[in-house]
Amino acid sequence: MPSSLKLLSNLIADSVDKIDQKCTAQNLPFPQLDDIFSFQSEAICNDADVVEAIHVITAAATQLIATARAPIMTLSVVAHQWDVPACLRVANDANVAEILRDVGPEGAHIDNIVKRNGMNAARLGRVLRLLVSHHIFREVSPDVFANNRISSLLDSGKPVQKLEKNPQAKYTETSPINTFVSWGTGEFFKGGAFLSQTLRDPVYGHSDEANQSALSKAFDFDVNFFEWLERPENTDVLSRFSLLMRATTDLLPNATILNGFDFSSLPDGALVVDVAGGIGSLSLVLAKTFSKLNVVVEERVQLVSDAEPYWKSNLPEALESGRVRLVAHDMFTPQPDLGSAVDVFVLRGILHDWADSYAIQILGHLRAAAKPQTKLVVIDIILESPCHVPDTKTIKGCKPRPVPEPLLANMGAANTMAYSMDVMMMTFGNGQERTLKNFVDIMDKTGWELKEVVSVGSWRPHLIAVPI
C-alpha cells in the first residue's frame, strides 16, 4: 500500500489536474500569487468543482507538511505563530497596502514606505519580511516591497492622507476584509493571550457567564461583551463591530440566505422575525426579494438606533409602510406581542455567541411564542469531528460526505476556520460553535425538533426546526 506521503501527494496532483482542466475548458487562467486581487481574476475559483479541488489541496498539503516535517519544528512554528497576526496588524494599521497601491507593481523601497507613515524603516522591513515569508506581500528586490494577490485585499481604496487623518475611515465604505483583520489581529487576538489563564481559573474556567471570559480578563470588564461595546469610550470599537456583523452578510452572495429555508413558500403577509438581527442586513435581503413578507428586526436598543439610518438609505419605503419594523428587544426575555403569529424565527450567527445555558434561554422564549405553524431557522456553523463518527440520528440533508484517505474526516486545514471561530466564541464570551448533536440536544431541551439541514454553499447552513 502506498505511504501516506504518496497518497497525500497524489491527492494534490490529481486536484491540480482537475483545476487545470477546468481552466482550459472555460478559457480562464488561475490567478497568480504575485497578481493583484480582482473579482474578475478570481472567477475560476467560484466554480464548484474548483472549490472542492482547492479544499482537497489545502487539506492534503497541510497534512503532508505535518507528516513530513520534524514534530519539534511543527511545535516550534505553531508556538511562535502569534507573530503573524501581530505583524499583519502592524501592516494594516500602517496603511502599507495603500502605500504600495500608489506605487504599482514595481514596489517601493522601505525607506520610501516609511516616509508616508513615519515608522522606523528597519523595523517595518522586518515585519514585512515575515509576512512575505507567509506569502502576504512580496519582496521584489532587497528592501523593495509590493502588493500581491493576498496583501492587496488589505487595500481600503482610500487615499493614504485621509487614513492618516482618520484611521477609522479604513473600515467604512470599503472592503469588509479590513474589519475582519482588525478584529482578528486586535481585540480577539489580545483576548486569546488570556485563554490559558482563563481556562485554568477555578471559576472562569467552568463558567457559562459571558462576563467571565478571556476577553473580559484581557480588557478588564465585568459585563458581557455587547454591554462593554456600548460603553461611551468604545464608540469606535462598536462601530467596527457593527461593520464586522454587516460584513458577514456583504461577503456572501444573497443566495446563502435565499437558497436555504424556502421563504417563497410562506403566505402573503407572513411574519418573519430576525432575532438579534443587528442593523438588519439579512432582513434587507429578504425584504427586497419578497415584498409579500412582513419583517421584524429585533435588537438591543443601541443597535436599533443604528439600524434606522441603514434602512432609510437602502429601503426607506419598507419602514414607511410598516412592512419592516425595528423593535428593541432583549432576547433573554419573553418575546413581545408583535400583533400577529410569527411564521419564522431566524437566528443567524446568534446562538454561537452564547454557552448552552444561555442558548437554551433564547430558544425557550422563542418556543413559548411559537404557534404550530412556526418554523425556526438557525443559521450557524456545524462542526464536524476530525475522526469518523457513526450517524446517531437521521436528519434530512445530513449525509456524511466522502473524504479521500488519508485526510481527516472534517477535511482538516480546509475547515480550520470553523474551529478558529469556535475558540474565538469561547474567548470573547464563553460562546461556542456546535456539532449537529449539540444542536439537537439544545433544541430537544427547549421543545424544538430539528427536521432538516440545508447547505447553501457556505460554512453556515440553515438548520430548520419545528415545535414539538
Tens digit of each residue's pLDDT (9 = 90 or more) over 117-126: 999 999 999 9
Residue 163 pLDDT > 90, yes or no?
yes
Per-residue cell: 290: 419578497
Mean pLDDT of 114-138: 98
Pair 398, 462 in one domain: yes
Pair 400, 269 in one domain: yes
Mean pLDDT of 220-236: 92
Q: In DSSP terms, which residues pair with 133 in a beta bridge? A: none
Of 77, 102, 117, which residue is a domain's last? 77
Sign, CA torsion 48/52/55/61: negative
Per-residue pLDDT, 214:
97
Burial class of 451 by CB neighbour count within 10 A (0 to 12, 13 to 18, 19+): middle
Which of 246-260, 334-348, 357-371, 443-457 has the least mean pLDDT? Answer: 246-260
Residue that is written with C-alpha cell 497524489 in the block: 10
Running DSSP on this structure, what letter comes out for residue 193?
Answer: T
User: Residues 335, 366: contact at Cβ < 8 Å?
Assistant: yes
Indicate whether 206 belongs to any domain.
Answer: no
**What is the average pLDDT score of the chain?**
93
Pair 259, 407 in one domain: yes
Q: Write the DSSP assignment of 379-420 as a string of letters.
A: E--EE--SS----SS--BT--PPP--TTS-TT-GGGGHHHHH
Comparing CA positions, the residue from 282, 197, 181, 186 lying closest to residue 234 is: 186
CATH number of 86's domain: 1.10.10.10
Pair 37, 129 in one domain: no
Per-residue pLDDT, 392:
53
Per-residue pLDDT, 306:
81
Residue 449 pLDDT > 70, yes or no?
yes
Pair 60, 106 in one domain: no
Mean pLDDT of 112-118: 97
Number of domains in the chain: 3
Pair 385, 265 in one domain: yes
Pair 320, 462 in one domain: yes
Per-residue pLDDT, 426:
97
Indicate whether 240 belongs to any domain.
Answer: no
Residue 172 pLDDT > 90, yes or no?
no
pLDDT band with cut points at 50, 70 and 90 for residue 249: low
SS3 191: helix
The amino acid at residue 267 is: P
Indicate whether 214 belongs to any domain.
Answer: no
Per-residue pLDDT, 404:
94
Indicate whether 209 belongs to any domain.
Answer: no
Residue 184 pLDDT > 90, yes or no?
yes
d(CA 465, CA 375): 6
Mean pLDDT of 152-171: 92
Mean pLDDT of 429-449: 97
Pair 402, 297 in one domain: yes
Q: CA distances (Å), 87 to each of 31, 112, 181, in order? A: 25, 19, 11
All residues at 6 or more sequence positions from 337 whose CB lies less than 8 Å from its CB, including other chains: none
Per-state percent for the chain, helix, strand, coil, to nearest 5: 50, 10, 35
Give me the domain span that covers residue 289: 253-414+430-467
Indicate whether 34 belongs to any domain.
Answer: yes
Per-residue pLDDT, 255:
75
Residue that is written with C-alpha cell 504600495 in the block: 100
Pair 299, 271 in one domain: yes
Mean pLDDT of 40-69: 95
Of 57, 77, 97, which residue is a domain's last? 77
Per-residue pLDDT, 399:
77
Per-residue pLDDT, 393:
60
Around 7, how many Cα atoms within 13 Å sit in the side-chain half-sphere?
Answer: 12
Q: What percent of the chain has pLDDT over 70?
A: 97
Pair 68, 120 in one domain: no
Per-residue pLDDT, 304:
85
Phi and psi angles of residue 396, each rounded to the nearest 5 degrees, phi first = -55, 135
SS3 317: helix
Indicate whether 227 belongs to any domain.
Answer: no
Pair 15, 147 in one domain: no
- pLDDT tens figures, 301-319: 877 888 899 899 999 999 9
Indicate whether 265 belongs to any domain.
Answer: yes
pLDDT band with cut points at 50, 70 and 90 for residue 391: low
Indicate whether 438 belongs to any domain.
Answer: yes
Per-residue pLDDT, 54:
97
User: Residues 95, 167: contact at Cβ < 8 Å?
Assistant: no
CATH number of 364's domain: 3.40.50.150
Mean pLDDT of 165-173: 86
Per-residue pLDDT, 442:
98
Of 178, 201, 223, which residue is a domain's last? 178
Comparing CA positions, the residue from 281, 396, 287, 262 lying closest to residue 348 is: 281
d(CA 192, CA 215): 7
Residue that is written with C-alpha cell 468604545 in the block: 234
Which of 109-118, 139-148, 166-175, 440-449 has the least mean pLDDT? Answer: 166-175
Residue 362 pLDDT > 80, yes or no?
yes
- The set of catalytic residues is 352
Q: What is the CA radius of gyration of the chain?
A: 24
Around 220, how many Cα atoms within 13 Å sit in the side-chain half-sphere?
Answer: 0
Pair 267, 360 in one domain: yes
